[in-house]
Structure formats: C-alpha cells, structure tokens
Amino acid sequence: MEKGRVMKKGKVKKGKEPEKEKIREKGKEEKEKKKEVEKEKIKGKEKGKEEKSNCKEEKRKERETEKEKEQLKGKEEKEKDNSALTKRPLEPPEKNKQILVLGLDGAGKTSVLHSLALNRVQHSVAPTQGFNAVCINTEDSQMEFLEIGGSEPFRSYWEMYLSRGLLLIFVVDSADHNRLPEAKKHLHQLIGTNPILPLVVFANKQDLEAAYRITDIHEALALSEVGNDRKMFLFGTQVTENGSEIPSVMQDAKDLIAHLAADVQGPRPGPLCSCQSKSP
C-alpha cells in the first residue's frame, strides 16, 4: 500500500510539471513581445528625433545659404561701386574744360542732359554710377558736358572737377521737398570755392503736381546768396513725353549755356565732336 501511494504521488507530479513549463514559456514569450514592442517604440522615437534633427539641419543650411547669398550680393554691389569710383574719365587738358552737370541722385540730370543733346525728350531710368560724358554740337560751337553721379559715394568728386568747369549746371527735383535743404547745402559748398563760376539751375520735374514753382525753388536754394559777381540763371524744366521735342524753355536754356560757355572759353578751333555717352 505504501508503495502504491508513492507511485500515485509520482504520477501527479509528472502531470503538473509540463503545465508549469508551458506557463513559464508563455510568460517568457509575452515578455519578449513586450520587449520587442518597447524596442519598436524606442526606434520610432529615435527615428522621429533624427527626422526632426535633419529637418532643423536642413533649415539651418538653408538660412546659411541665404545669408551667404546676401553677403555675396552685398560684396558684388560694393565691388561694383568701388570699381565705378576708381574708373575716372580721362582728365581733359585745360583748354578742353567741361560744363559740369551736378545734383543729387534722382534729380533727373541724365534725362535733362540727353534731352539737350538730342533735341528731344530722352528719359533715363538707371541712375548714373560714376561719370557720364556727352558732347553737344550747335550751329557754331561744341559743348563738352560731364555729369557726375549724385549718390553719396560720388559727391567727393564734385569739387575735384569743379576747378576745370566752364560753368556749373545744378539740377534739383522740384517735387522732392525733403531733399531741397540737402541740395542747397551741396550747391553752396560748390559755388563757395569759386565766386565767379557761372551757375545755371534746372528746377526739374515741374510737370509733377507736388513740384515747387520757380519762386519757391529760388527761395529754398537761397539763390539770392550766390554772389553779386556770378552769372546765375534759373529754369523750370520737365521731360514728360519720351521722344517728343524738348520744351521751348529747354531750348532757351541750351542756347544760353552755349553763349555762357563761349564767353568763358573764347574761340576754339577744331572739328565738332559727335554726341556720345561714357560710363565706367
């Protein structure tokens, strides 16, 4: 009997061991699955972080590229300005003095000058970057004009060339009220170095609604203070319809300029030059 009981107990033990083993195996599998799920989650998070990091890196590179482009553009513009400044026109001999055309940028110097040269309205869109030399022929004389850019980098050249000027043409924008004090300051600085240099002022853009009239321009530029020994003339000008004949007032101004230049210059032998423009 004791023996039979022992055998019976042994059989019960053998029956329960495989079930426990299965439970343990199943538990291990579930743990393994959980680990795999956790690994996948970690991988997903790392991938998200990596993609976010790559996105930030790409945006940073884009910003750096844009910044480099802007710096390169600024450098090119600076080099262009420096190049324009270093390329001066050939200095004319004393007997070939020129009529200087000066004024702030945007006043319309080039448009006025080309209109006088061609006897018809010729608009200019781009501002003069440096120097613009033009020769104008009349029936019995020739006139050599030199326009110098009106932006800040070129104003230091104004007085340098003033000593070789036959006369000074100063162009102002009649409608740009805010810059008239600045124009006045530069004009009086120029004429202060030469008390007898003839002066012709063009109050340009008279066709604009906001333009000051001639009397207002005379007062704004303090032209009554230019000196009693100086020949001074003020014209109201405009260049409206491109290609049309120049207004009669511009023709009158052209005739006067030729007369003044002839008085200062005296008789000049030699062939007439053809109209041309030069820029550095």
- Annotated binding-site positions: 103-110, 128, 150, 204-207
* DSSP state letter for 240: -
Binding residues for GTP: 103-110, 150, 204-207
Q: Which residues of 230-258 are buried (b: 16+ CB within 10 A; e: fewer)?
A: ebbbbbbbbbeeeeeebbeebeebbebbb
Tell me how far apart the 2 most distant CA atoms of the chain are, in Å.
Answer: 158
Alpha-carbon separation of residue 223 from 76, 217, 220 (angstroms):
40, 9, 8
Binding residues for Mg(2+): 110, 128
Beta carbons of 170 and 184 less than 8 angstroms apart: no
Closest to 99 measured CA to CA, from 116, 119, 84: 116
Region of 243 please: left (phi>0), alpha (psi -120 to 50) or beta.
left
Which 3 state secondary structure label does DSSP give 174?
A: coil
* DSSP state letter for 243: T
Q: CA Rg, the chain, in Å?
A: 42
* DSSP state letter for 95: G
